Structure 1
Amino acid sequence: MNSVAEPLPRNVGADGEEAEGTGKALPIIFHYWNIARRRLWLILAILIAALAAGLVMTLLAQPLYTATTRIEIARQQANVTSFEGVQARDMGQNLEFYSTQYDLLKARSLAERVAKDLRLARDADFVKIYGLDQDEDSLPTNAGFGQLSSEQLKKREARATDILLDGVSISPIRGSALVDIHFSSPSPGLSARIANNWATSFVQQSMDRRFASTSDARRFLETRLEGLRERLQQSERALVDYAASQKIVRLSDTQSVDGKTRTTQTLARADVESINAELAKAVADRVAAEARMSASARNRSSAEGLVNPALNNLRSRRAEVAGEYAKLLVQFEPEYPAARALKDQLNAIDASIAGEERRVGDAISSTYRAAVDRESQLRSRLDSMLSLLSGQDRASIQYNIYQREVDTNRQLYESLLQRYKEIGVAGVATNNISIVDPAIAPVNPSSPRLMLNLALALLAGMGLAGIAVVVLENLDEGIREPAQLSAALQLPILGVIPDSGDLTSVELISDPKSELSEAYMTVRTNLALTTDHGLPRTLSLTSSAPAEGKSTSSLVLAATIARVGRSVILVDVDLRKPSVWNYLGLRNEGGVSNFLTGQTDWQTWVQKTELKNLSFLAAGPIPPSAADLLSSDRLKLLINELSQHYDHVVLDSPPLLGLSDAPLIAQVVEGVIYVTEAQRTSVRAAQQSIARLRQGKARLFGAILTKYRSEQHGYGYGYGYGYGYGRDNDTLDEGTR
C-alpha cells in the first residue's frame, strides 16, 4: 500500500488550468480578474490615496507660465559664392543634422550664454523667484549685487544655468523645419524674456561657431599644405630611383578616375595565364583518358570496343557461325565432322575477338600515358613560370608602394590647395536659422493641470496597487484553488467541497440534492477510479491541522457510500480529540481505545446511525498515550475484523502536523485521503504533511479541498446542483453563487 494513486482527469483553473467541462485552458485574464476581486478593497484604497495625493500636490503646486519662441532651421544655408564653406551645404538633409541642432538648443554652453546676456545672477526678480540668495548667509538681506564676491557670483551663475536647463524644453514640429523653444517659470514676463533671448543666443552662437571653424580651417590647411609639398617631392624622387635600380618595365599602365596609377599586365603574367589554360585542358584530357581506361578494365565491352569496326565484324561473324552450329547439333552429335568444323571456326573467331580487344585496351592505355606526360610537363613549366612571376611581383610590390604614395600625396596636395583657395575667396554665408514668432508673455498658467495630474496619479495608483497585489499574492501561501493544490502536492483532486455556511453536516446529508452531497458524490465517483476493484474497502482521512473539514468529510463520504446500498462503518480513530460522535448525536462511552487496550468484543460499541447502511464506532475513552495504542497490532486486527462484517471501513484520523497517529493508521488501510481547507492550509504545511505520509509508505488516493467559495474565485468550481430538482429560488441562488 505504498504506491501513490495516479492523478485523475480533472478540470483545472487559472494558472494553466482548464475550464470546467470544456477541456480548454481559461484565458489568463480570468486569473487576473479573480485576483482583482479578492483584493478589491486594497486596490480601491490605493487608488483613492493616489488620487488624493495627486489632488493635494496639484493644489499646493506653484503655477508656472510657459512662453514659446518659434524658430526655423533651414535645410541649406545660402551662399553668395559658388564655393562651399567649411560646412556642407546639403548637410541639413541628414537626420543627424537636425538631431544635432536639437541637442545644441539644450546645450549647457547656450544656457550659460543666456544667463550672462540677461545678467540673471544680478537680476533681482530672478534671484527672488528662484531663491538664489538663500545659501549666501554671509551677506546681509539688503546687500546689493556689487557686494558679491567673484566666487559667489560664479555660484549664482552656475545655479542660474541649471535653472535655465531645467525650465527649457525643445519641441520640433513634425514634418517641418520649425522648432518651438519653451521656457516655464513662475513669472510670465521672465518666461518670455528668456525664451526670446534663448533663440537669439542660439542664432549668434551658430554664426560664431561657423566663423571660428573657418579660421581654424585656414590655419590648419596652411600647415598641412607645407608638409604635403615636401612629402610629394620626396615620394616622386623615391619612385624614379627605385624603378631605375630594379629595371621595372610594364607592358601597360592605366590611370583610374581618381587619378591613381594602376598596372594591368606584364609579360610573365601573360605567359602564366596561357600555360595555366593549357594545363587545365591537359588535366581534362587526362581525366577523360583515365575514365576510359577504368571503364575498359571493368568491362571488356567498353565504348571503344562497341564502335570498333573489326570487333563488330568478328562478333557478327561469330553469331552466324554459332547459329549454324546450333542447327547441326539439333540433328547430329558434336563429333559430327561438320559440327566439329563449325566448333573450330567458333574458337578461331573467339581468339580473334580477344586479340582485337587487347589491342583496343593497349591503345586506351597509351592514350592515358600520353595525357599524363603532357600534364606533368605543363605543370613543371607552370611552376617555373610562377617562380619567375613571384620574383617580379615581389619587386612590383615595392614599386606599387612608391607609386601609391606619389598618387596619394599628389591628390592630398591638390585637394587641400583647392580647398584653401575656395575658403580664402568664399564670402560670408547668410545664417540658416531665423526667428519666426517671438515669445509673448503668457496670460494663463501652463501648469499645474488638474485633470492631467489626476490621470497620472491614477496611473501611479494602478501601478502601486498592482505591485501591492503581486507582493501579497506571492506572500500568501494559503491554498486557494484546486489547481494550486494539485500542482503543489502532486496529487489528484478527488473533489472540491463548497462552504456549507451555518448548516450542519447532518442537515446537508439528509438532503441528497444539497451542494455538499453532490460534491461528495463526485469524491465517491473519483475514489472508485483509484483502485482496480472500485471503491477502497478501507481508507482513512487526515489533514494537516484540526478544523479543516476532516471529520465532516469522513462522515459525509461514509454516508454517501452507504447511500448506494453498501454497508459502511465510520470509525473515529482520533483518540486525542474525538468529535464525530457529537456530529451524529451518539455516545462516546466505548470504542476503539477499549479494543486497543485488550477488550475483544468491539461489536458492543458499534452504534447505528439515522442514516441507512451506516454504522459508527466511536473512539472511546481518551487514553494516556494514543501513539502507543495505535502502533500495536490490535489496530490492524480491528480493521481486518471490521472489513469482514462491512463492505467499507472509513477511518477519521487525527491531524498530521506534530502527531505520529495518522502515519501509523495509514499502515493498516488501503490508502489515505488528504483533506485541506481552502485559504487556510499553507502550501508548506500541506507539503510537509504529504511528505510524512510518503515517508511512512502510505498510499495516497488524492486530496479534497473543503470550504471552497467559488464566488470568490470564478474558476468554474461552483456547485449549482439545484438545477432540475425543483428547489426554491433562494436555495438555487445560494447554490450558484
Structure 2
Amino acid sequence: MDGIAPYRGQSASINPALNAQANGGGAIAPPHRPAPSGFAAPHAPDPSAVKTPAHYLGAARRRIWLILAVAVPLSIVSSIFALRQPKIYQARAELMIEPPQLDPILSTLVSQDVGRIDAAAHDKYAPNMVARLTGKALADRVVSSSRLAPELAALDDPAQELIVNNIRVVPIGKTNMYYYVTLEGKDPALTKRLLEGLLEELKSVAHTESHDKLEGTVEYAEQNLDQLKKDAAELHAAMLAKLKSVGTIGPGGKNILEMRYDSFGQSLALKQARLAEMNQKMMFAQIWPGAEGGGPAASPRDERMAMLQAEKHRLMKNLAHLKSTTRRFNDDPAARETSEQLDDVMNEIEEIGRMGSFKTRMAKNPAEMIFEKQMREIEDDQAEQQAMLSEIHEVMPKHQEFMSLMEDRQQARLKIAAAESEIKSFKTLMKSQKEPVRVPDNVVEPTVPIKPNRLLTIAMGLIVSFGLGFALVFVLEHFDHSVRVPEHVSHGLATPLLGVVPRITRSALTHRGGHLWTSAAPDSLAADAFRNVRASLLGVADRHGPIVSLLVTSAKAGDGKSTAALNLAATCARAGERTLLLDVDLRRPSLNDVFPADDDDDDARLGLVDVLRGAVPWQQTLRRTDLHNLDFIPTGDPRDVPIEILGTLELRQLLSALSHHYDRVILDGPAVLGMADCRVLGRMVDASVLVVRAGVHQIVTLQRAKAVLEQSQVEIAGVIVNSLSEGVQNWSSYGYPSTPVGFPPRRDRALPAASTTNQPDDEALLVAASAGR
C-alpha cells in the first residue's frame, strides 16, 4: 500500500506520539499551525437581525411566487364575488317631523300627562318617530297590506329582509326635524312602493296619535268645565240657604244692621253738633249778659249751674264716644273714670237745685230747657246705638260666611267663562293643526343602481389580495433571521470570505449525478465564482503556507458542501493542478454517481473504506474522470464500517501519501454540528473550508460550527457562501455568454500538469509551492 500501514480496527490510536512510532521516523502527517485557543471568539452581533426596507423588498422579490400564490386565488375569488353581486337600487325621500303643539293657556286646564308641554318629551318626539320608522312593527303593517302581499309571499320574513335591514334615516344638518330616508332593494319598483307605504303608515300613525291626544285634551277640559259648573251651582245653593237663615243681608250682600248703624250714627253726630252750638251760645250769654236778649243778670248759682251743665254735656259726649269705639264698654277704665266724673257733676247739680230758687219754673231760661231736652235725646240715642252695635257683632260671622260664598261663586263664574272661551278657541285651532309628520306626495323610482361598484370591488380585491401576499412575505421576513448577505457571514464569524457562489440553475447541461456541474458551462457566473474561491485559497496559502489537503464541510447537511467540493476540484483541475476529489462522508456519500465506474470494472464497488481496512491500495480505488487532471476516490461501501475509522492512523498516512502525489487533495467531509467526524478529519488536513448556504442558517448556528472546529484545533481557511440569490450582480462585473457572437463554441481544455509556460500567475505560484515541499 505504498508504505501505508493496514487498518487495525478500533484500537488504533490517533495520538501524535504513537503516530510517530508507527511511521518509524518516516513520513508523517502535515504539521498543523496553532489555532486560536479557547472555545471560540466572542459572538459578534447578528447583522441579519436588523431589518431594513431593503430586506423586505428583497424578500418580496425573492418570494414573488408566494405573493402570487396568495394574491392570484384571492383576486379571482374576489372578482367572482364582485361579478355575482346583484344590483342594489335606492329609493330616497325627505321627511319632516314636528312635535304637535298644544295651546299653552288650555294646557293649564288639563292634566300634566295630557296638556302640559314636556320639554324632554318634545325633544324625544322626532327620535321616537325615527325609531318607529326603522322598527319591525311598522314594517309588518306595510308588508301585510293587500297590494304588496302577493309579491312578498315567497319570503320568510319580508319585513325584516326588505325593510328593517335596508332602511336608513339620516338627519339633515343639525336640525331635529328634517331627515333623509333611504331604502335599498333589488327591485326598484318594489323598493319605491315599500318606501311610500312605510312613510304613509308613519304619517297615519302620527296623525292618529296627535288627533287622539287633542281629542283627549278637549274631553278632559270639558270634564273640568263641568266640574267648575257643578261647583258654582253648589256655591249658589249655599248662598241661598245662608240668605234665608240670616235676615240682616240686603241687596248686593250688604248688612242691613250695619247700614242702619251708619245712618243712626250720622243723625246722632248732627244732634251733638247742634247741642255743642247751643252750649256755646249759652256760655256767651253768661259772659255778656244781655248780649242776646237783654235779660236780667244771672246770679252766681245760675252761673255755677251753667258750668255744671256744660261739664255734664262734655262727659256724656265722651261716654258716647267710648261706647261706640270700645268693645267691652263696662270694663273699660276710661269709661269708668268718665262715668264717675259724670256722677259727681250730676250730684252737684242736684244739690244746687235743692237749695231752692225764688224763681218759679216758668221763670227759667228757655234756652236751658231746650238744652236739657236735647241732652236727654242724645243720651237715649247713644244707648240705642250701643244696642245696635251689639246686634251687629252677633250677626257678623254669618255675614262673613255669606260674603266668602259670594266671592267663591264669582271666581267660579270667571273660570267657567275663561274655560268655555279657551275650549271654543282650541276646537277652532284643532281644525288648522299641522300634521306632525309630513312626507312627499310620491317617491321617485330609482333607475340607476347604487351598488355594487364592480370595478372598485375588483380593484379593492386585487389590492387586498396582493396586500395579504406582501404582508405574509413581510411577516416571514420579519421572523426570518437567517444570514443572506455574505458580508454578514464574514463579519459574524470573523473569518475570511473565500467566495460567493450564485444560485445555479439546474438544467440538463449542469445536472450530473444529483449535483450541479459548472464545468459543463465554464463561462457561467457559477464557474467564475469557483475560480474566485480558488484564487482566494492561493492568497491564503501565500500568507500562511501551502494548502494541499483541503476539507470542505458545512454547519449542517444540505448546505451544498458536496457540490462545492466537486466544482472546486474541477476548477483546480482546469487550472492545471493535479487534483484528487476524496469522498470521506461515510454517513451520506453522494459523489459516487457523479463519476460512475465502468460496467466491466471489477473494482467499481471499492473505495476509501476498503483502503483503510487494508484490503486494497488506494491506486486500485482511483477513478479517472473525463476532466483532465481530476481523479476521484469514492467512499465505497460504508455498511458495517464504524465511523471511528476516519480517526485512524491509516487515514492520516493515506492523506500524507496523496499529498505527495497530487497538487490538491479536496475532501468532501461530513457536517460539523452534532458529529465528531469533521473535527477528527480537520486535524489531518492543511485547512478546512466552511460552506454556508445563503438564507438557511442564523449567524448563531454558524458561530457554533466555527467554535466546534476551533475547539478541535482545526484550521479554517475561510467561508464560501453558496446559493446566493440576492445581490448577485454585486459580486460579478459581467458574465460570458455560452456562445459569443461571431465565435465558435469554447472547448473545455485544461492546462497540462507539467506545463508552466502559459499558466496564470496564481497557478505558477501553486506549482512552485508544490515543488518547494
Q: Shorter-normalised TM-score: what interval?
A: 0.3 to 0.5
- The structure with the largest alpha-carbon Rg is 2
Q: TM-score, normalised by structure 1?
A: 0.46
After TM superposition, the score normalised by the length of structure 2 is 0.44
